[in-house]
Amino acid sequence: MNPKRKQRLIIVLFIVFGAATAVGLVMYALNQNINLFYSPTDIVEQKAPERTRIRAGGMVVEGSVKRDTESLDVTFEMTDFANKVTVHFTGILPDLFREGQGIVAQGEMNSDGVFEAVEVLAKHDENYMPPEVAEALEKAGKMPEQMRAKGAQPL
């Protein structure tokens, strides 16, 4: 083989392997940061993986919020009006967090079927509902009439 061809081949192979390595690292990083959204029905039907970071959303069930007086532990139920999921969160809840309101929580399912949230996001006004929650409620055919009347729509 001609030395000039050999040198070109080595350079081309180096570029191809370098590009493949870069693409592989990017794909690995993106895979680690993807948080898929699941509704309470998806979670009850065990479509949500255990011990994997996901986002779950729904409405906070009236009368379900239980706060520990000695710590920042909060337990409440989240529903899409078809199924309920128990959520456990340790920390300060957003100011707009209320019973009967839409939320999106980020965390993972534990082996007991409880959603261990690390972050809870609440809606920011009376006409807003997180897009994923609104879509899940519409899909289940369970969008509350008062929310429809107020014009709640995903933005």
Other CB atoms within a 10 A radius of the CB of residue 16 amount to 10
Tell me, what's the pLDDT at 133?
Answer: 72
Q: What is the number of alpha carbons within 13 Å of residue 21 lying toward its C-beta?
A: 6
Higher pLDDT, 142 or 114: 114
Tell me, what's the pLDDT at 88?
Answer: 96
Global confidence as pTM: 0.67
Q: What angle do CA 130, 49, 107 make, to 5 degrees?
A: 50
| pLDDT tens per residue, range 31-80 | 766 778 899 999 999 888 888 889 998 899 999 999 999 999 999 999 98
User: What are the residue boundaries of the structural domains of the chain, listed by start?
Assistant: 1-33, 37-122
Would the annotation count 128 as a binding residue?
Answer: yes
Higher pLDDT, 14 or 96: 14
Tell me, what's the pLDDT at 128?
Answer: 60
What residue type is assigned to position 62 of the chain?
E
Handedness of CA 142, 147, 153, 154 (dihedral sign): negative
Task: Give SS3 for 145.
Answer: helix
Q: Which CATH number fits domain 37-122: 2.60.40.1220, 2.60.98.20, 3.40.50.410, 2.40.50.140?
A: 2.40.50.140
